[in-house]
Structure 1
Amino acid sequence: MLISIWLSQVLFSGAVAGENFSPRVPGISLLFRIPLEDVSFYVRAGHLPDAFLAFSPDGGLLAVGTFLGRLIVTSTKDGRILWQKRIPEAMVKRVAFSQDGRTIYFGEQSPDGFIYAVSATDGHPRWRFRLADDLLPGTPPEKGDIYGIYRQPGCYRLKVLEDGDLLVLGIHSWPDKKRGYWRRLSRVYRLSPSGRLRWAWPREGPAELSLIYADSDKKGLRVAVVSTLPSDQLPPEYPYTPGTIYVLDGQRGKEVGRYRIPPLRPYYDRVSVWESVAVDPQGEFAVVATSDGRGFIIDLKKIKPSKILALGTPIMVGGLPVSAMSSYSLISPRREIYFQTDTSSIPYGLNVSGNRPAGPHPNANTIWAVNPRGHILWRFSAPFRFQGLASDARGKVLATAAGASARGREASHQYGVFVFKTTRPGGGLEKLIGYYPTRGPVFFHLALSPDGNLLALCETPYLDELGRQIGSYQVHVLKIKGQLKEARR
């Protein structure tokens, strides 16, 4: 109820009602929806399915990769499906267009972990690259194993560089029955537009830990990779360590330096990150957000922090520490840095009873915009959990998924996306274009068309307190009002 009141006062939009409800939101309008597969089996088991979205360089096509292995290509003019293909025993994990829009690249998570290049016109195959040759093949999941697909080798980063090359990150994390412990293998690749391997890092073979995310400048001259958990039973002298940012020469695939992030003791005994490393378009700095609430700006020449921001680091509330995880980050083409802080929580490194904080962290549920020196440009806070960030090619539009839910006697659920015009003067509220509500949660991989006129998001269903499935597994394509006129100037 409080969330709906907040929305009505700030955005003049009400709660979502009805399966085919088309909200009228200031600044945003619905163009069409794309129904996806039936995922009710996974939803009943408590899982929210993945999806990945990408617009073509001219914004005329939208490619959708689904949890059940479909690649769908639609026209953004009318939502018509132009072609689609099904990849057996796979999830389409990442999707990207070539610079000229003629080729679609997509990476799967499957026993083979292929990277594919296909014609954007009709899906005709051009080449493929097998990650399992390095990361070892996976075992097809047994029927009913909802998490088995995540134990397959998969593509966790697929970025098209300015010269047409591809930056690829492959990860395989699984319980190795032969060795009797959990293994994690990762490797970063640079491929030519024709699928030829230019280099792979580490050079000696896959790292025995999760290189959870990677990014580069637009030319691929500098690559930043961040590591998390290692394989079990690794010797202490193993050359690659968790909680470390590795900086590579993107032309040769050679490590030029590393920075090991110190744990924030006594609250945390290790460093945890997610898809939170980003590299400046000009390759001068990188950023990474950590689950202890810190945001790092890394000088890529000195390979050490030039600024460490205390975004959601622990503070004392009611005699107990409370933190707000710093989850996602992005550097826009205008070189503005964006961080997000999550909901309030008790630091996981502490041995305390209960799992609910005594009170909220003052910086929880906040989007932060900072400049390369770490100075705060603007902030936006709301009673929502923000997940994922997307920018257009000019850095003038920013979008984020948002959700808020409460269970129990006063159960409530509110999901959707916030959209900002970053060039507007003022703070976060003044930059806000609008909020688009959905019935189900929005998956954190959003896509903005290069000109900033269109936004694509994937809604996923969930089970409410009565066991009813609410929402649909579908893509919403939205028009951002006021952008088309500016784009034509």
Structure 2
Amino acid sequence: MLTDERRRPLGDLDPAESRHNWARSAATVADGTVVAGGVGGRLTAERPDATPAERWSTTAADPSAIVDSYVVSLAARDGTLVAGERGPDGHVAALSAATGDRRWRYATAADVGTATTESLTFQPYVVDVAVGGRTVAAARRYDRDGESRDWSSVVLGFDPDGDVRWRYPARAAPLALDARHSRVAVAYNRCTDAHAHGLVVLDADTGAPVMNWDPGTEGDRRVGDVAFLGDGVAVASHGDKHGYLLDADGGERWRVDLASERRVGGETVYAYPTHVRAAGDAAVFVTGNTYAESTRDPDARHPREHTIAAVDDGDLTWTHPVGGFARDVAADGSLVAVPSAQHFRERRADTHAVHLFDADRGHLDSRSIPGIAAAVALDGDTLAVVEEPVEYHDEGVTHGAFRLHTWRVDADER
């Protein structure tokens, strides 16, 4: 189970609000070193089992520039750490995982444009990064005119020295990506007439599209997350609230209803599948908040709201509630960690936690967290969670603080 909890302060961070679901932090674990990202582009690395714990601290952006930016995506492999920011320039940076020394930095604002307002939500946003044979990053930005949104996005493939090898631009909003071997799968949530593909799979060396897929539903909501599973790709569909496994050509192997429209208490409600991870031979999905056809604030709750579900070969093998909105999900082998942030409709701080599951056995352990569990990382025998403070609008009380939590995952439970 989870043992040997350690906490480390990460500095000051304004409390999130009741409905605040913006990413403002990130975490990753590599070779026993935990890296947390947050305010001002700052990165902190530590080894929980060492004294002193901190290895290094630095900024992904220019340390002489004081900007309102946040490290919101992290990935590490083979000694290289890649960080993505949300801020005026939307930097992607590669650093030494051992020392924090920056190797190169790139401003995605050159591709997606600069913000037309100072609000953080309009700033360039590096939603996801991956590092392996090639570093890959997906960034987006939008302008808003009333109810109309104009999306600009790019997926970038970098050479080891930071030169851009290829670009894949789109008038749509990517949410996540996954990279394996020679392919990069990108999930697009908000799509437009100019880009009506919820899933695009790219060649990792050239950036050329090799497969497109879409749930074919009405509206601009398409795909929430993707994960390579075996020789296929698992998809969390926002369009029809189902989970899919597709083959390499986009053919459907299986499809499972996760949280589609249902009548509850006189209301038609649904929940979006927000995450999917490959865990062993299973695809593990997590759903988000309840929404309704007729109102922004439904009284009813979808029975699969804030739920983790494991699907093996098309069979739904188990489900378990996670208590609140999951901003992130991490997997390693058959283990899956789900952080529970705020339940912004019921506003219950006692649901703030991180949960550990096994794809075959289901729920293993949970640990309460005073604030909201905003980012999670899992690797080997280490679980890391970034806690952010939150203040619910009808309480006037700040729950938690900006901290890094780490636990040891008992080897006997793996």
TM-score under structure 2 length normalisation:
0.86
CA drift at 1:291: 6.2
- Determine whether 1:402 maps to 2:324: no
Answer whether contact 2:234 2:283 (CA < 8 A) is retained.
Answer: no
Amino acid at match of 2:366: Y
Map 1:102-251 onto structure 2 (within 5 A).
103-138=80-115, 141=118, 148-161=119-132, 163=133, 165-175=134-144, 182-201=149-168, 206-217=169-180, 219=181, 221-229=182-190, 238=194, 240-241=195-196, 244-251=198-205
Determine the structure 2 residue equivalent to 1:368: 309
Answer whether contact 1:440 1:461 (CA < 8 A) is retained.
Answer: yes
Determine the structure 1 residue equivalent to 2:207: 253
Determine the structure 1 residue equivalent to 2:350: 413
Please tell me whether Structure 1 or Structure 2 has the larger radius of gyration of its CA atoms.
1
Determine the structure 2 residue equivalent to 1:304: 251
Q: How far apart, CA to CA, are the structure 1 residues paired with 2:3 and 2:345?
A: 30
Determine the structure 2 residue equivalent to 1:67: 39
Q: How far apart, CA to CA, are the structure 2 residues paired with 1:228 and 1:411?
A: 28
Report which of the two has the higher share of strand. Answer: 2
Answer whether contact 2:82 2:95 (CA < 8 A) is retained.
Answer: yes
* 1:272 alignment partner, one of 203, 221, 236: 221
| C-alpha distance 246-122 of structure 1, shift in aligned 2 (>3 A) | closer
Answer whether contact 1:345 1:357 (CA < 8 A) is retained.
Answer: no
Q: How far apart, CA to CA, are the structure 2 residues paired with 1:46 and 1:67?
A: 20
Q: How far apart, CA to CA, are the structure 2 residues paired with 1:353 and 1:119?
A: 49
Amino acid at match of 2:54: I
| C-alpha distance 310-406 of structure 1, shift in aligned 2 (>3 A) | closer
Determine the structure 2 residue equivalent to 1:391: 331
CA drift at 1:156: 1.4
Determine the structure 2 residue equivalent to 1:336: 282
* 2:2 alignment partner, one of 28, 39, 46: 28
- Determine whether 1:379 maps to 2:318: yes
Q: Provide Cα deviations, 1:116-170, integer angstroms capped at 9, x if missing partner.
A: 12233332222222322222234683xxxxxx22322232111112x3x112112
Answer whether contact 2:387 2:402 (CA < 8 A) is retained.
Answer: yes
* 2:397 alignment partner, one of 451, 462, 468: 468
| C-alpha distance 305-439 of structure 1, shift in aligned 2 (>3 A) | same
Answer whether contact 2:18 2:391 (CA < 8 A) is retained.
Answer: no
Q: How far apart, CA to CA, are the structure 1 residues paired with 2:274 and 2:305?
A: 11
Higher deviation after alignment, 63-72 or 131-140? 131-140
| C-alpha distance 262-417 of structure 1, shift in aligned 2 (>3 A) | same
Q: Provide Cα deviations, 1:325-356, integer angstroms capped at 9, x if missing partner.
A: 32211113x2310012335442xxx3x36732
- 1:442 partner SS: strand
Q: Provide Cα deviations, 1:357-390, integer angstroms capped at 9, x if missing partner.
A: 44x434334211112x3122x3132371351321
CA drift at 1:458: 1.2
Q: How far apart, CA to CA, are the structure 2 residues paired with 1:354 and 1:122?
A: 47
Q: How far apart, CA to CA, are the structure 2 residues paired with 1:437 and 1:386?
A: 15
Q: How far apart, CA to CA, are the structure 1 residues paired with 2:349 and 2:269?
A: 24
Determine the structure 2 residue equivalent to 1:316: 263
Amino acid at match of 1:104: L
Determine the structure 2 residue equivalent to 1:439: 370
Answer whether contact 1:173 1:183 (CA < 8 A) is retained.
Answer: yes
Determine the structure 2 residue equivalent to 1:326: 273
Q: How far apart, CA to CA, are the structure 1 residues paired with 2:271 and 2:237?
A: 11
CA drift at 1:403: 5.1
CA drift at 1:299: 2.0
Determine the structure 2 residue equivalent to 1:53: 27
| C-alpha distance 63-367 of structure 1, shift in aligned 2 (>3 A) | same
Answer whether contact 2:224 2:273 (CA < 8 A) is retained.
Answer: no
| C-alpha distance 244-447 of structure 1, shift in aligned 2 (>3 A) | same
CA drift at 1:76: 2.4
* 1:456 alignment partner, one of 380, 384, 389: 384
- 1:111 partner SS: coil
Answer whether contact 1:155 1:171 (CA < 8 A) is retained.
Answer: yes
* 2:48 alignment partner, one of 76, 79, 84: 76
| C-alpha distance 135-355 of structure 1, shift in aligned 2 (>3 A) | closer
Q: How far apart, CA to CA, are the structure 2 residues paired with 1:91 and 1:167?
A: 19
Answer whether contact 1:66 1:92 (CA < 8 A) is retained.
Answer: yes
Answer whether contact 2:308 2:322 (CA < 8 A) is retained.
Answer: no
| C-alpha distance 117-420 of structure 1, shift in aligned 2 (>3 A) | same
Q: Gaps spanning 5+ residues in structure 1: where? A: 1-26, 142-147, 264-268
- 1:278 partner SS: strand
Q: Gaps spanning 5+ residues in structure 2: where? A: none
Amino acid at match of 2:376: L
Percent identity, please: 24
- 1:150 partner SS: helix
Higher deviation after alignment, 305-314 or 470-479? 305-314
Answer whether contact 1:137 1:153 (CA < 8 A) is retained.
Answer: yes
Answer whether contact 1:288 1:296 (CA < 8 A) is retained.
Answer: yes
Report the RMSD for the aligned CA atoms in angstroms: 3.0
Q: How far apart, CA to CA, are the structure 2 residues paired with 1:129 and 1:304?
A: 36
* 1:96 alignment partner, one of 75, 88, 94: 75
